[in-house]
Amino acid sequence: MFHKEGYTIISISLIITIIINLTSSYLLDHLMISKIIGIITLIIIILILQFFRNPKRVTELNNSLIISPVDGKVVAIEKVYEKEYFKDERIQISVFMSPLNVHVTRYPNSGIVKFSKYHPGKYLVAWHPKSSEKNERTTVVVENMNFGEVLYRQIAGAVARRIVNYAKVGDDVTQGADAGFIKFGSRVDLFLPLDSKIKVELNQIVKGGLDTIAEK
């Protein structure tokens, strides 16, 4: 299964690949060169297909848990001052996604979307300390009864050039449901209340919609 955000890119890539291979086989007399071109274009298509894959995940809904919004590696667990929305101290959990990870963003908790804002910006590498403030990003806040307001931030990386965010203020969203997509490498930050019980460690690999980040 592939994410809907990849349909256009996949279709165009397949058409270009077919044209390139038909042209090379027709115009080039050297069979080996045609085979090399075919192998290279096949590898590119496989990479594009794996990037836009959207595996089905069954999330066990639990308002006392915050689940990982994305697949990737936990690269930061720290107390910070969140200055865009809360304007107070929160626990920040950052998950970095390589180009090989699934890039679907899923809602970390069920509730009502209280805030959703897009910020244009730079394209620093996603693990850069300033990427959370300087890079292209979206900030979304979802409120439920157990955790209160939880903020997650999609952050574009050095390769990423488009963030897709489906969250709209007033939406009643479900934990684990599709919340968007970040194309070609990125990071997601979670900002949680200080009394949250963190259930992950640095460098831990997590899966979006399945693994628990924190609990109350």
Tell which residue, 56, 32, 72, has the closest CA to residue 187: 72
In this predicted structure, what is the pLDDT of residue 82? 95
Is 24 catalytic? The answer is no
**pLDDT higher for 209 or 30?**
209
Domain boundaries, the chain: 4-51, 65-215
SS3 47: helix
Let me know: does 190 contact 67? Beta carbons within 8 Å. Answer: no
Segment 61-72, tens digit of pLDDT: 999 999 999 999
User: Is the pLDDT at 103 greater than 90, yes or no?
Assistant: no
In this predicted structure, what is the pLDDT of residue 180? 92
Degrees to nearest 5, angle at CA 206 with 85 and 168: 35
Q: How far is C-alpha 165 from the geometric centre of its chain's CA atoms?
A: 10
Share of the chain above pLDDT 90, in %: 51
Degrees to nearest 5, angle at CA 186 with 206 and 59: 35
Joined tokens for residue 137: 């990003």
- Give the mean pLDDT of 48-77: 90
183 pairs with which residues across the strands? 162
Let me know: does 39 contact 17? Beta carbons within 8 Å. Answer: no
Q: Which of 94, 110, 186, 196 is catalytic?
A: 186
Segment 16-44, tens digit of pLDDT: 888 888 887 777 766 777 788 888 888 88
Scanning the structure block, which residue is given the tokens 């409120």?
A: 143
In this predicted structure, what is the pLDDT of residue 35? 82
What pTM did the predictor assign? Answer: 0.82
Regarding the domain delimited by 65-215, which CATH topology (the fold level of the hierarchy) does it fall under? Answer: Glucose Permease (Domain IIA) (2.70.70)
Question: Hey, what amino acid is at 138?
Answer: T
User: Is the pLDDT at 174 greater than 80, yes or no?
Assistant: yes
Separation CA 40–CA 124 (nearest Å): 29
Let me know: does 142 contact 113? Beta carbons within 8 Å. Answer: yes
